[in-house]
A and B are shown apart, each in its own frame.
Chain A
Amino acid sequence: MTAGLLRSADTMCARRLDHEHRGVRGNRRSTQRFRVANAIVEDARLNHIDTREPDLHFFAGSDELFAEQRHVYDNAAAWYVALFARRPVRSVDIDFETEHSRLGVRLVGPAGLPVETTDGARELRVLRLGGAPLPADPFDATEIRFAVLRLAEWLDHDAVRIVVADLARGEVSVAEPDASRGRDDLDEWLAERVARIRARIETPTSRAGVECGWCPFVAGCPAHRAS
């Protein structure tokens, strides 16, 4: 289960949902859309390999960015340094997947940037580049719920802070969840999402629509057989 599948469980074409869920290999997608966001997260992670404040020197970016991507990257890097200034932290390595044995699923994919402060407090940073406005409550966003579930063991700690930052607009939303925002609520939410996906892929009927524009499985799709 990826964050994308959980987010689109109700709306994605059932055939595509089924193919994505099973990891079916489709036509090649463009990867450029995620290039700037991935570069920012990776460079921030490198910045904090040792306990350090953010420093623009670590945000060199790639020579292979297009000029427009470079502008977006530089502005995002400047916002990262400004928004997280004077907070020396160390990045924490995490596995690429988390097994959820009770539901029989693996949660797979990026889970933000987990960091620790010098006094041991734990912080999950989720970095965005524009798009939808930041939720007033970070837990309203699927990506946050997913990241918290991915890092549940690591986040099971006295002092936890969750920061969602939009590095295109320079906005942040911060939550310091207490015991009432417990694991049970998130587990319940995940169970509902997983059940929904499983129900929909039982009959993976294809549906033609705007979504087909970025579906990698259209070449063999019954909805386009007559084409």
Chain B
Amino acid sequence: MVPVRGRLSGAPSVMSPRDTLLADIVALSPSSLERWNRCRREYRSRDLLGLPESNPGPPADMGNLVHSLLRMIHEQGTCRDDAFVTDVLARHGVDGVGPVSGFIARHRVRCPADASRSRHELELARFHRAPAPMFMATGRLDAVWIHDGLLDVRDYKTGGSFFERVADDPRARLQAWLAAPIAARNALGVRVRYEHLAAEIDDDPDPFEPDADELDTIGEELRMVVAQIRAEPTFAGAADTAVCARCRYRGVCPDSATPAEPAWPTPPDEC
């Protein structure tokens, strides 16, 4: 027997599928964090394995259009200019009385009038180095306004409402943590506000204005999530009817409480 003292430099290592699931630096985004909190197995299928969805949900065409229009309206003019808004909508084949114009109108009453600066679709990334584990948080903020000593982060919502307080939504907490360094550099506070633009939702949830201590707490929460991800042994599914019924991987998940056939095309039998 020859004692093995180590691996030669450059020699291939043998790693199990579990070992190769995670990169050295785990990435977190508002969406991936939501999936992790909802179901470990869904998180693995989407965020770690990158698998095509077996049962895709409805297309997000309406939401994407509204986000895109709001960006254009604010980058090229203002939502308070009726003629300009009508022109932008018309250029995108949207008439002035349909649901899309309703979304824009409901945004208008929430839009900060006295903002000195704004950015739309702002990409942010914040790296946590120490203490371990390292992670990289990223996000794309729908809109950021500067007014009244605040860096006001807006998240446009065209669907349902699930939180009474923005502070209770882990996605918003991550957004606040992402925006915090910019706010600090400009001596501003951070606020995250959800704009629920659907006609059937009357009130927005209470905005979230974390102070420095709470932002530190969020950083620690995120670090603990990443530690859990790194330590996760099985990535077992939630096996919860309410969760599984909407899952986009329910057709391939052995843990699903609402198993389904995959919706993807299959070859004809004669093949």
Contact = CB atoms under 8 A, between A and B. Distances in A.
Interface of A: 27-33, 35-36, 64-69, 71-72, 75, 78-79, 81-83, 85, 129-131, 168-170, 208-216, 218-219, 221, 223-224, 226-227
Given A32-B17, A85-B271, A214-B27, A69 B138 contact: no
A27 B24 CA distance: 6
Contacts, number: 127
B49 A69 contact: yes
Of listed A31, A33, A212, A213, residue having the most chain B CB within 10 A? A213
A201 B262 CA distance: 44
Contact of B21 (A30, A85, A212): A30
A68 B140 contact: no
Given A68-B252, A68-B253, A78 B266 contact: yes
Interface string B1-25: 0000000000000001100111111
B267 A81 contact: yes
B111 to A, nearest CB: 25
Contacts of B124: 208-209
Contacts of A28: 23-24
Interface string B244-271: 0000010111100000001011111001
Contacts of A33: 48-50
B123 A169 contact: no
Question: Looking at chain B, what size class is its interface with the partner chain?
Answer: 35 or more
A131 B52 CA distance: 8
Q: Tell me which of B23, B125, B127, B271 has the highest count of chain A C-beta atoms within 10 A of its own C-beta.
A: B125
B44 interface: yes
Contacts of A212: 125, 127, 136, 138
Given A27-B24, A68-B249, A212-B127, A82 B138 contact: no
B139 A210 contact: yes
A55 to B, nearest CB: 12
B101 interface: no
B45 interface: yes
B271 A213 contact: no
Most buried by A among B41, B52, B123: B52
